[in-house]
Amino acid sequence: MKVAVVGATGLVGGEILKVLAERDFPVSELLLVASEKSVGKQMEFKGKQIKVIGVEDAIAATPQIAIFSAGGSTSLELAPRFAEVGTVVVDNSSAWRMDPTKKLVVPEINAKELTKEDKIIANPNCSTIQMVVALNKLHEELKMKRVVVSTYQSVTGTGKKAVDQLMNERAGKEEGEKAYPYTIDLNVLPHIDVFQDNGYTKEEMKMILETKKIMGDDSIRVTATAVRIPVMGGHSEAVNVEFEKDFTLDDIYRILGETEGVVVVDDVKNLQYPMPKDAHGKDEVFVGRVRLDETQPRTVNMWIVADNLRKGAATNAVQIAEYLMKNELV
């Protein structure tokens, strides 16, 4: 299997390489692709040094799969060019997610929709992925009516520049280009991505629209507030869900326990609950603080945490690639 990683030198690109190695993905040839300024740089994969190449060389090599993590404008320009030579593109950017002709895939939920005709496949937003993984089986059994979510998102979701800004601020250094318009250390920014005409940010609208598309149900009402906090390791979400059907708390725990990819960490007597530092480097979605909403019927609160660079990006993309290979779709 000849695999290209486009945007290999970025935070998510590096995580994709780790995940490919950890999951022993059958790579016969690995193409590391980046912008011209990185061409010629050496990167390590499974103990071997591999030279970074440019886009034209990568397209000419006709890989079977290309995993993109290179930004929306790059994906809009280059994904169709890879697809033209027969490569299946799994794209981490927001470029194709809401395109009605493209599948938006979380393998545990809707990989079965993929066919050989799908040459560009969208990877959802990181905060959306962890929420829908936790909620999908609950939706199947109890039918979600409304979701209210507030996120607490790691600086790693913005990229290396944001991590550098946080660490420089923490060290008292005034250097480097800023990723955020304000200080992030010892602060909270209720602002992720650009503001839209309706007052919501693009990140919030991603969660609202992508949830409906992934679950294939436009009747689910979703509202979101997305917040950046000065942590690394993963995104956290406080989620309030109203269902159509009656349930007990035991039903919620049972369904979560049966949900693929979910680990329940919920023992408040012993102060056990999900935290970003414990999710870091892991592929599972962690759920805890499960409790009934006492203000209205058929509603539950929960706390959802996952490593945004892993299941929120790299792992989900590699799982899509694994599904394509296993089902002979490439």
Binding residues: 9-12, 37-38, 97, 153, 228, 308
How do beta strands 42-45 and 48-51 pair?
antiparallel
Active-site option among 139, 191, 235, 280 = 235
Q: Are 2 and 28 in contact (CB under 8 A)?
A: yes
Measure the CA–CA gap between 181 and 252, rounded to whole angstroms. 40
Binding-site residues from annotation for NADP(+): 9-12, 37-38, 308
Measure the CA–CA gap between 203 and 302, rounded to whole angstroms. 21
Binding-site residues from annotation for phosphate: 97
Measure the CA–CA gap between 89 and 80, rounded to whole angstroms. 9
Residue reference for tokens 């602060």: 187
Binding-site residues from annotation for substrate: 153, 228
Q: Is 104 helix (H, G, I), strand (E, B) or coil?
A: strand
Is 191 marked active-site? no
CB count, 10 Å around CB of 299? 17
Measure the CA–CA gap between 256 and 136, rounded to whole angstroms. 10
Give Cα separations from 156 to 12, 120, 179 (angstroms): 9, 25, 11
Measure the CA–CA gap between 35 and 160, rounded to whole angstroms. 16
Measure the CA–CA gap between 79 and 84, rounded to whole angstroms. 9
Active-site option among 126, 139, 191, 280 = 126
Contacts of 41 (CB under 8 A, 6+ apart): 9, 34, 51, 52
CA 40 to chain centre: 29
Q: What are the residue numbers of the active site?
A: 126, 235
